[in-house]
Amino acid sequence: MAACIDLMGETLASLARGEALLPLRTVLRLPGQRNMFAAMPAVLGPSIGAKVITVFPDNEGTPFESHIGVVLYFENTNGRLLAIIDASSVTAIRTAAVSGLATRLLANPNARTLAILGSGVQAMTHLEAMCAVRGFTTVRVWSRHLPNAEAFAERARAQHGRTVEVVPTPEAAVRGADVICTTTSSREPIVQSEWVAPGAHINAVGASQATARELDSETVRRARLYVDRRESVMAEAGDFLIPREEGVVDNTHVLGELGEVVLGRVAGRTGPGDVTLFKSLGIAIEDVASARFIYERARELGTGTWVAIGGMR
């Protein structure tokens, strides 16, 4: 996780320097369902790649994760396909790592209380990422189904040696928290501004469509808002687009991209009382950079499975 947080910092800085090509993602909603099929291509310096995944919120209660697919990684000399990598793991880790970067850049340095809303895949990797960048002494988790929050707390103890307090409402998690991660598939706000303490930092991760959000409009209005990519937020982020539609904020409310903060081109927090907000959507260069990193490590370590794919004359 620590390596991925640094990698995401370099990757988003590359985007800010204009070294990446990426269109908005293509998302096909399956007829009559809320499940989706998505393709996310990108070129990042010498790396070419794409994530191709199904996003099945309906997998809830089945043995399958909600994000399943592959990241394809190519080189730019002969256009060879170099690697096919599990997208579930890459998505789980890189998303939390970007939130880790945002928290490292934007949260108060003495943050001690962490609130996690949701108890799924992203909730667990966010716990790991948050603990990599701040010294939390209290971690609270809320989930819609209490037994899932309890199971999360058990896993957190077993996998990360962390004690996590299970709380019955989002309000009980958010009140007094220094850092708040929203990692749910909710389409309606689960965070109310009146619960958010001055000085808090929020990573809003769960809602990736224009019609879904996890934060109420006032939370967004109050916050200094940072994003992974402006263009994506203007098309895909209900957490921003719904308050904008209501006339609560306008486009100038987006202060900058994380990569611009990394490069020092955009200021972060101005004082300990600011509420800062990172709106995460997830962008393809995060997957391509992760794929390059994994491919290079696999070569060094002699791991992975070699297969002949074709493409030779």
Positions touching ligand NDP (CB under 6 A) are 55, 60, 66-67, 91, 95, 118-123, 143-145, 148, 183-186, 190, 205-206, 208, 280-282
Rounded Cα distance between 180 and 193, Å, is 12
Give 258's Cβ-side CA count (13 Å radius).
32
**Residue 157 CB neighbour total at 10 angstroms:** 12
Smaller CB separation from ligand NDP, 122 or 276? 122
Smaller CB separation from ligand NDP, 58 or 272? 58
DSSP-based three-state secondary structure for 106:
helix
Least distance to ligand NDP, CB of residue 284, Å: 11
Beta-bridge partner residues of 141: 116, 166
Rounded Cα distance between 37 and 29, Å, is 6
Rounded Cα distance between 73 and 53, Å, is 14
Amino acid at the residue 58: D
Least distance to ligand NDP, CB of residue 182, Å: 9
Least distance to ligand NDP, CB of residue 76, Å: 25
264 close to 16: Cβ distance less than 8 angstroms: no
Rounded Cα distance between 186 and 182, Å, is 9
- Residue whose C-alpha is closest to residue 94's, from 148, 53, 153: 53
- Residue whose C-alpha is closest to residue 201's, from 101, 76, 122: 101
Beta-bridge partner residues of 116: 141, 181
Least distance to ligand NDP, CB of residue 248, Å: 22
Cα separations in angstroms, 216 against 146, 170, 177, 204, 223? 23, 13, 17, 11, 11
Smaller CB separation from ligand NDP, 205 or 288? 205
Least distance to ligand NDP, CB of residue 9, Å: 16
DSSP assignment letter at 25 = P
Smaller CB separation from ligand NDP, 112 or 162? 162
Smaller CB separation from ligand NDP, 82 or 114? 114
Least distance to ligand NDP, CB of residue 204, Å: 8
Give 272's Cβ-side CA count (13 Å radius).
3
Smaller CB separation from ligand NDP, 11 or 122? 122
Smaller CB separation from ligand NDP, 82 or 189? 189
Least distance to ligand NDP, CB of residue 185, Å: 4
Smaller CB separation from ligand NDP, 82 or 212? 212
Least distance to ligand NDP, CB of residue 281, Å: 5
**Residue 191 CB neighbour total at 10 angstroms:** 26
